[in-house]
Amino acid sequence: MIIRPLAPADFDAVDNVHRAAFASTAFGHQGEADLVRQIHADGDALVSLVAESEGRIVGHTLFSRMEVEADGMPLQGAGLAPVGILPDLHGAGIGSALIWWGLEMLHGQGIQISFVLGHPDYYPRFGYSAKTALPFASPFAGPHFMALLLDKGVRLPESGRARYAPAFGPER
């Protein structure tokens, strides 16, 4: 398997991955494929990676720019969403590899904090926690809203806010 940055020619294959991946979830397809295109079109993609196996795209993840403030000061933030893997390859470690690779790239870009809205049994393995996200006001606050400090020099604030890129909708 090869992990590499998404190329313009990959968009149709990435659409197919997300449509297949999210059709098999309890929530069904929620527009993830369109979201990927919009984030890229808006220039808000920080890291967008594909997993390729035997010449076909089997997974994708995207980290997008976020507006983050901690105790009145801006932080360089990224939101992890979406992560999609073809259903027949779930459990093969592809999603984990994409996320780890992406986090390393974010660190290299000087991103200080990353947020995810996801399963509380899955994302803590990467260091995300609801406790870290707790001080940040967001419409997604709760056990599924998690954060990961990428810059060890950043301390948790007493208060803050976290807003996703505009492509996620006006409430984010």
Both ends of the chain: CA-CA distance in Å? 34
As its CATH architecture, domain 2-168 has 3-Layer(aba) Sandwich (3.40)
Q: What is the pLDDT of residues 59-70, one digit of tens each?
A: 999 999 999 999
Look at residue 68 in the predicted model and tell me its pLDDT: 97
90 compared with 26, residue with greater pLDDT:
90
Which secondary-structure segment (H or E) carries 18? helix 11-23
Q: What is the pLDDT of residues 72-130, one digit of tens each?
A: 999 999 999 999 999 999 989 999 999 999 999 999 999 999 999 999 999 999 999 99
133-165 burial by CB neighbour count: b if 16+ within 10 A, else e?
bebbebebeeeebbbbbbeeeeebbeebebbbb
DSSP 7: -
Strand partners, 149: 113
26 has a pLDDT exceeding 60: no
If one counts every other C-beta atom within 10 angstroms of the C-beta of residue 7, the result is 10
pTM: 0.93
Cα(70)–Cα(2) distance, integer angstroms: 37
Look at residue 141 in the predicted model and tell me its pLDDT: 87
Q: Which residues contact 76 (CB under 8 A, 6 or more apart)?
A: 68, 109, 110, 111, 112, 113
> What are the residue ranges spanned by the domains of the chain?
2-168
DSSP 86: -
